[in-house]
Chain A
């Protein structure tokens, strides 16, 4: 990569033992099996099952972002946090907006 020497940064600082990764790995296993259980093991109505796995998925995403993808670690200004929040904003707008807009059938019917 062509880089200016001044903007080149050092190596990731090394922890003695990758605690974060271990904890993240265990938590993501728990969440994965949790959602599996909701689908196969629980006998809740399907609305409730869907809500449950969506919530678990949100936690799963958080774990990915904070424990594996180092959202808070940075050299220099922390641009990625702003971008992630922007991404949440867009995702919310697109999904909620589309649901709102496409509910038009009820008006027409």
Chain B
């Protein structure tokens, strides 16, 4: 056969049963979606209401739905890995296939599950909490979302077209360089992360400006809800951390596509420089995906304890301390590089220091509950599960921070246990707490408590069954990223139990989906807009909030403004005057621009420069067209607002 044709077939068509199955499933699912949309004549509706929207609430919903599908994708990877490791000497996945799966698992979970989930929560809650009508740059917000979405598609495409990346989510050079890892896999990783990273930086800028500039009158910084504080700090972390990743990715891409030698030792490059730059971004990144959830827990714990958040000032200071410290600890990820005693000591001590502000926050949550009237609603259950889980994760982190000891723990299952305790116990539980908490605000319906509890208990029991034994088996010498292991080391029972836990979490996920579907059909409607007897401004408007959020911009007197209005302020309120509301227009350009990025990215993955340049051209045209657009906003007239408010029973 002609070699070019052969090459084409080999890269483009599935080579084994798993890939064939995945291809089939993806094609069937896509066809099903197209069919349903066409059959119910929903295309127009989808385009008008979602694909072109610049409304932060809808963008938030799309982020969260995408994040949940990505949780499914990453979870499927996890199930495959755990199935392989249940018994010694299994070879149901080949070494290369296993490598691909742990790589996509880690990358999807951090970049395409945790990030969009927290950014979705930013979008859902922040403008409402500060009494704003939208974010500062709504059009840019839509661009951020579509860049993430296209990047996620591109990354997932790797599984069926050309092969997935297989050098780990950390993609260390020289392994990830062109020499040891030819083929398109790593290019997918580099380009997909680059595209979603651009969107994330834009989100950071957007929320920084929104929070600094668009708070309702009277809301000083020290009257902001704690979630908003955490988003402000996270935005700053994003703005300073993500550019480092962008540079690192670009350098490796230049190495791979154009034969440069930034990270190859042969021509004077430094492979460890990739690792260094990666963790300059990577450590702040793990705080980017935890700090917003600290904010969520603060809101949830205060609401369901019927008390003001304890130690608000200390919470703010510890957030600031964590954010600054998180930039000076990155070497703890590569103590074993051997940079010398001075370097390892400095970064070991700075790492341990982070435990102090984190502990302060823990105590503040506990004191908020102390003598409160604690109500065990679903969001609160997730918050309560978080506290002991995260404690285990944080304490094992401090053990890892002892540089000489880390030579033992490093890259063992002990490390795997550590970061899953903080990332699942902190980030994922936090995302769930936020989802259950704000679900009524997003959709006007509460998630069912009974079926929710099934999912909750299945999750937390299975989580511990899966990850607690990893601490032990790690200390017994099992290293991470092994695709199979010999019998007779005593690892089998632990691994088998872990696999049971993994399947349990999969059941938990299915129960959670059932919980959602059940609640959409039979859940309790939220007609008050304030289902939890909340404290902050998002609960003062209807559920779901109208397009313009608040008919009249609220004036803030207190940290828990809505609580203050409900229970403290006894002055007679005069009827507010409704004025026309200034809102941004929808636009189809963000999705077009992102599609251009997607096409360009696909071209670069295979070093096909015609589609690459064509894609970039689309991007440039979209950017240019925006500069000449005059008609970018409109006013909602008073009678429309009055009608909407009357329909919600608010006039």
User: Which residues in A have their C-beta under 8 angstroms from that of B236?
Assistant: 83, 86
B340 x A104 contact (CB < 8 A): yes
User: Which residues in B have their C-beta under 8 angstroms from that of A102?
Assistant: 270, 272-273, 276, 339
Question: Does A79 reach chain B (CB closer than 8 Å)?
Answer: yes
Q: Could you tell me the distance between the alpha carbons of A22 and B331 in the complex, rounded to whole angstroms?
A: 46
B270 x A1 contact (CB < 8 A): no
A104 x B339 contact (CB < 8 A): yes
B136 x A1 contact (CB < 8 A): yes
B583 x A2 contact (CB < 8 A): yes
User: Which residues in A have their C-beta under 8 angstroms from that of B214?
Assistant: 3-4, 7
Question: Which of B127-135, B155-163, B538-546 has 4 or more CB atoms under 8 Å from chain A?
Answer: B127-135
A87 x B240 contact (CB < 8 A): yes
Q: Could you tell me the distance between the alpha carbons of A103 and B339 in the complex, rounded to whole angstroms?
A: 8
Beyond A93-B328, A104-B340, whether A98 also contacts B276 by CB under 8 A is yes
* Per-position binary interface string of chain B over residues 296-337, scored 1 when its CB falls under 8 Å from any chain A CB and 0 otherwise: 000000000000000000000000000010011011000001
A4 x B217 contact (CB < 8 A): yes
B216 x A4 contact (CB < 8 A): yes
Question: Does B582 reach chain A (CB closer than 8 Å)?
Answer: yes
Question: Does A16 reach chain B (CB closer than 8 Å)?
Answer: no
Question: Does B338 reach chain A (CB closer than 8 Å)?
Answer: yes
Residue of B nearest to A80 (CB): B212
User: Which residues in B have their C-beta under 8 angstroms from that of A3?
Assistant: 133, 136, 214, 582
Question: Does A101 reach chain B (CB closer than 8 Å)?
Answer: yes
Question: Does A108 reach chain B (CB closer than 8 Å)?
Answer: yes
Question: Does A100 reach chain B (CB closer than 8 Å)?
Answer: yes
Question: Does A107 reach chain B (CB closer than 8 Å)?
Answer: yes
Question: Does A6 reach chain B (CB closer than 8 Å)?
Answer: yes
A interface, by DSSP: helix, strand, loop or mixed? helix
Beyond A87-B240, A102-B270, whether A107 also contacts B339 by CB under 8 A is yes
* Per-position binary interface string of chain B over residues 368-398, scored 1 when its CB falls under 8 Å from any chain A CB and 0 otherwise: 0000000000000000000000000000000
A1 x B340 contact (CB < 8 A): no
* Per-position binary interface string of chain B over residues 610-651, scored 1 when its CB falls under 8 Å from any chain A CB and 0 otherwise: 000000000000000000000001000000000000000000
Among A2, A5, A90, A104, chain B packs the most CB atoms within 10 A around the CB of A2
Question: Does B57 reach chain A (CB closer than 8 Å)?
Answer: no
Instruction: Scan residues 199-256 of chain B and give those whose CB is less than 8 A from a CB of chain A.
Output: 212-217, 236, 240, 244
User: Which residues in B have their C-beta under 8 angstroms from that of A101?
Assistant: 276, 331, 339, 343
Question: Does B138 reach chain A (CB closer than 8 Å)?
Answer: yes
Q: Output the least CB separation between A38 and chain B (Å).
A: 26
Question: Does B14 reach chain A (CB closer than 8 Å)?
Answer: no
Beyond A2-B582, A6-B553, whether A104 also contacts B240 by CB under 8 A is no
Question: Does A94 reach chain B (CB closer than 8 Å)?
Answer: yes
Residue of A nearest to B280 (CB): A94
* Per-position binary interface string of chain B over residues 273-286, scored 1 when its CB falls under 8 Å from any chain A CB and 0 otherwise: 10011001000000
Instruction: Scan residues 558-597 of chain B and give those whose CB is less than 8 A from a CB of chain A.
Output: 582-584
Question: Does B137 reach chain A (CB closer than 8 Å)?
Answer: yes
A107 x B340 contact (CB < 8 A): yes
Q: Output the least CB separation between B160 and chain A (Å).
A: 38
Q: Could you tell me the distance between the alpha carbons of A93 and B213 in the complex, rounded to whole angstroms?
A: 29
A4 x B338 contact (CB < 8 A): no
* Per-position binary interface string of chain B over residues 133-176, scored 1 when its CB falls under 8 Å from any chain A CB and 0 otherwise: 11111100000000000000000000000000000000000000
Instruction: Scan residues 62-108 of chain A and give those whose CB is less than 8 A from a CB of chain B.
Output: 79, 83, 86-87, 89-90, 93-94, 97-98, 100-104, 107-108
Q: Output the least CB separation between B118 and chain A (Å).
A: 21
User: Which residues in B have their C-beta under 8 angstroms from that of A90?
Assistant: 240, 327
Q: Could you tell me the distance between the alpha carbons of A1 and B210 in the complex, rounded to whole angstroms?
A: 11
User: Which residues in B have their C-beta under 8 angstroms from that of A79?
Assistant: 212
Q: Output the least CB separation between B330 and chain A (Å).
A: 8
Among A86, A94, A98, chain B packs the most CB atoms within 10 A around the CB of A94
User: Which residues in B have their C-beta under 8 angstroms from that of A100?
Assistant: 343
Q: Could you tell me the distance between the alpha carbons of A71 and B583 in the complex, rounded to whole angstroms?
A: 30
Q: Could you tell me the distance between the alpha carbons of A89 and B325 in the complex, rounded to whole angstroms?
A: 12
B133 x A2 contact (CB < 8 A): yes
B217 x A6 contact (CB < 8 A): yes
Residue of B nearest to A91 (CB): B240
Q: Output the least CB separation between B78 and chain A (Å).
A: 33
Q: Could you tell me the distance between the alpha carbons of A102 and B136 in the complex, rounded to whole angstroms?
A: 40
Residue of A nearest to B220 (CB): A77
Question: Which residue in B212, B213, B324, B343 is a CB contact (below 8 Å) of A104?
Answer: B343
Q: Could you tell me the distance between the alpha carbons of A36 and B337 in the complex, rounded to whole angstroms?
A: 40
B340 x A94 contact (CB < 8 A): no
User: Which residues in A have their C-beta under 8 angstroms from that of B582?
Assistant: 2-3
User: Which residues in A have their C-beta under 8 angstroms from that of B327?
Assistant: 90, 93-94
Question: Which residue in B133, B134, B338, B553 is a CB contact (below 8 Å) of A107?
Answer: B338
B244 x A1 contact (CB < 8 A): no
Residue of B nearest to A94 (CB): B280
User: Which residues in B have their C-beta under 8 angstroms from that of A5?
Assistant: 553
User: Which residues in A have their C-beta under 8 angstroms from that of B216?
Assistant: 4, 6
Q: Could you tell me the distance between the alpha carbons of A108 and B272 in the complex, rounded to whole angstroms?
A: 13
Among A83, A97, A107, chain B packs the most CB atoms within 10 A around the CB of A97
Residue of A nearest to B138 (CB): A2
User: Which residues in A have their C-beta under 8 angstroms from that of B633?
Assistant: 1-2
Q: Output the least CB separation between A52 and chain B (Å).
A: 25
Q: Output the least CB separation between A80 and chain B (Å).
A: 9
Q: Could you tell me the distance between the alpha carbons of A100 and B342 in the complex, rounded to whole angstroms?
A: 10
Question: Which residue in B134, B215, B217, B273 is a CB contact (below 8 Å) of A2?
Answer: B134
A86 x B133 contact (CB < 8 A): no
Question: Which residue in B212, B280, B553 is a CB contact (below 8 Å) of A4?
Answer: B553
A2 x B340 contact (CB < 8 A): no
A4 x B132 contact (CB < 8 A): yes
Q: Could you tell me the distance between the alpha carbons of A7 and B553 in the complex, rounded to whole angstroms?
A: 11
Beyond A2-B584, A7-B214, whether A97 also contacts B272 by CB under 8 A is no
Q: Output the least CB separation between A58 and chain B (Å).
A: 19
Instruction: Scan residues 35-75 of chain B and give those whose CB is less than 8 A from a CB of chain A.
Output: none
Q: Could you tell me the distance between the alpha carbons of A4 and B212 in the complex, rounded to whole angstroms?
A: 13
B337 x A104 contact (CB < 8 A): yes
Q: Could you tell me the distance between the alpha carbons of A89 and B328 in the complex, rounded to whole angstroms?
A: 11
Instruction: Scan residues 16-69 of chain A and give those whose CB is less than 8 A from a CB of chain B.
Output: none
Instruction: Scan residues 464-491 of chain B and give those whose CB is less than 8 A from a CB of chain A.
Output: none
Among B136, B331, B343, chain A packs the most CB atoms within 10 A around the CB of B343
In addition to A90-B240, A104-B272, A107-B340, 8 A-B residue pairs with Cβ atoms within 8 Å of each other are A1-B137, A2-B633, A6-B553, A7-B214, A86-B236, A87-B240, A102-B270, A107-B338
The 6 closest A-B pairs by CB, nearest first: A2-B134, A104-B339, A2-B133, A6-B217, A107-B340, A90-B240
28 residue pairs from A and B, CB less than 8 Å apart: A1-B136, A1-B138, A2-B132, A2-B133, A2-B135, A2-B138, A2-B582, A2-B583, A2-B584, A2-B633, A3-B214, A4-B217, A6-B217, A7-B215, A7-B217, A86-B236, A90-B240, A90-B327, A97-B280, A97-B328, A97-B330, A98-B277, A100-B343, A102-B339, A104-B338, A104-B340, A104-B343, A107-B340
